[in-house]
Amino acid sequence: MSEPLQALKIVCFGDSLTLGYQSPTPRSPFVDNRPYGEYLQEWLGTRGHVVIHGVCGETTQDMRLRFQKDVLCPGPHVAIILGGTNDLGWGITPDAIMDNLTFFYDQAQAQGILPVAVTVPSLRDDAGQDDESETGQPGQGVTAAVERAIALRVLLNQSIKELGHEQQFPVVDWFTDTCESQAQSLAPEFSNDGLHLNTAGYLKLAELVWNQVLADLLNTQK
């Protein structure tokens, strides 16, 4: 008689983007947090258990202080790790961010936990992006400051992807799937403030994690 399948234990670890924070705006004054982990739990049902550890405003150095308690001690099968947005906002370099992210990935693998890295999403100048260009299409203008911020995200995300390939852990490219291809700014349909994602953006991350990582893990358990 075969043993019953073990429920998949997953920790979602990160900052406000893991918490599913949505910023109220004049257009959307009443919005609720919608963590992508809630979608994963809905889809998993009894096949798994998702714990969400997201703290607004944290840098990866802040996250490092609670990594043992929130990730290593519970000993999940999978740790989905997302950090770096706040670091970049404080002017912390991609290299310094990667030092902390690498620590998370290495520590997880050493404990037999599968790390799933998530790339940092893009951003947009929300005021400028709401204006229409001469062609009547919104979101065409990107300021120099936003261009520089996007370039740093591209650099950080490339390092994340290279490390994932080298150490053979999954990397979910949330940046690419939520940005406008031409300017690489955060697409309006995925954000209501230009920085945090909205419900559609968090759903997109859940779909990417499910399709690229969890579906295969569940199939191997059958």
Output the six-digit token pair for 66. 């609670």
Q: CA-CA distance, 63 to 127, in Å (whole number)?
A: 31
- Is residue 142's pLDDT more than 70? yes
Nearest Cα to Cα of residue 105 among 125, 85, 84? 84
| pTM, full prediction | 0.90
Percent of the chain surpassing pLDDT 70: 89
Residue 133 forms part of a structural domain: no
Q: CA-CA distance, 53 to 9, in Å (whole number)?
A: 13
Domain of residue 156, residue span: 8-128+139-220
Count structural domains, the chain.
1
Residue 81 forms part of a structural domain: yes
Per-residue pLDDT tens digits for 30-48: 778 999 999 999 999 999 9
77 close to 10: Cβ distance less than 8 angstroms: yes
How far is C-alpha 4 from the geometric centre of its chain's CA atoms?
32
181: CATH: 3.40.50.1110
Residue 105 forms part of a structural domain: yes
Residue 134 forms part of a structural domain: no
User: What mean pLDDT do residues 88-94 have?
Assistant: 97
Mean pLDDT, all residues of the chain: 90
